[in-house]
Amino acid sequence: MLDKIIIDGLSFALPLFVMAIGGIYSERSGITNLALEGLQGAGAFVGALVATFLMMALPSESQIPYYAAMFTAMIGGMLYAMLHAVLCVNFKANQVISGVVINILAMALTVFLTKVVNRIAFGAASDKFLLNVSSRWTIPGLSSIPIVGAVFKDIYPFEVIIVLVAIIAWYVLYRTRYGMHVRACGDNPQAVDAAGIDVAKIRFSAVMISGALSGLAGMCFAYSISAKYASTIYVGYGYLSIAALIFGSWKILPTLGACLLFGFAKSAGHQIVQVLEMPSSYSDLVMVFPYVLTLLLLIFFSKHNAAPKALGEIYDKGKR
């Protein structure tokens, strides 16, 4: 049972984590990003669409559609994130309203486009794209270690991708000049501008990074949760990742801890339902566990979380 909790918990926590990293980039640059949910849905739509057509053209055992879906989902999420960036950076719109509207638009648009593509291309009235079941790996030797070995069992390929992306994202944010500029834009954009650096460009690029990572997360959820794409599979996860980055004080490593906590809470709930042989309706009830945990953490820890000083503030170069 414990092994299953760890395996399923990681497959949920890691996509949540990479999406939260995207949120960290955006918000450390000063742009409030409530649009993560919409970005992951739009990105996953593009990835699932590409995977569906590649599956028709390639042999069933080919892994090309899987990796192509991950890559194109990042591109799709990044392009859709440009809408949030243009509204908030170029037109200086209210960042909270922009994020909420982008979420609503993504939900409606992906449902509509999925139905249209299925009707035109496949002659089917469906709001889903069916995907192949993802292969899973087990590392011999390490997987036999008690308890800890569960981390190395039944690994989705996307989990390895996310770990690599997270390492790169951490290095870029904390060890490069660009990362320093991103963090400075969120704390003191006037100083960044005074140093001759374009605040708007830094913020725009940070929002696009958040879109790419959110799109990757959305595609990972599609493969791990149901082996299909539907606009409903990612509902709530964007806001859960926002809660995780807030509890992690907009820092990558503490945010990982929060995501793992949410992931294990979700998987433990499912295991409890199965072990106690409770009615299937209770499996839906345990979906609230991560959100209940979010409320509890909010009560006890939110006062101690320090957001970037210029988060949500519209920077106008002419008013320096």
Average pLDDT of the segment spanning 216-227 = 92
CATH of domain 2-133+152-319: 1.10.3470
Per-residue pLDDT at 91 exceeds 70: yes
* pLDDT at 318 (0 to 100): 64
Q: How confident is the model at residue 281 (pLDDT cuts 50, 70, 90)?
A: low
Kindly report which listed range (96-100, 166-170, 202-206, 243-247) carries the lowest average pLDDT score.
243-247
Q: How confident is the model at residue 144 (pLDDT cuts 50, 70, 90)?
A: confident
Q: How confident is the model at residue 253 (pLDDT cuts 50, 70, 90)?
A: very high
* pLDDT at 284 (0 to 100): 66
Range list of H helices, 199-285:
199-221, 237-247, 252-275, 281-285
- Which pTM value belongs to this model? 0.94
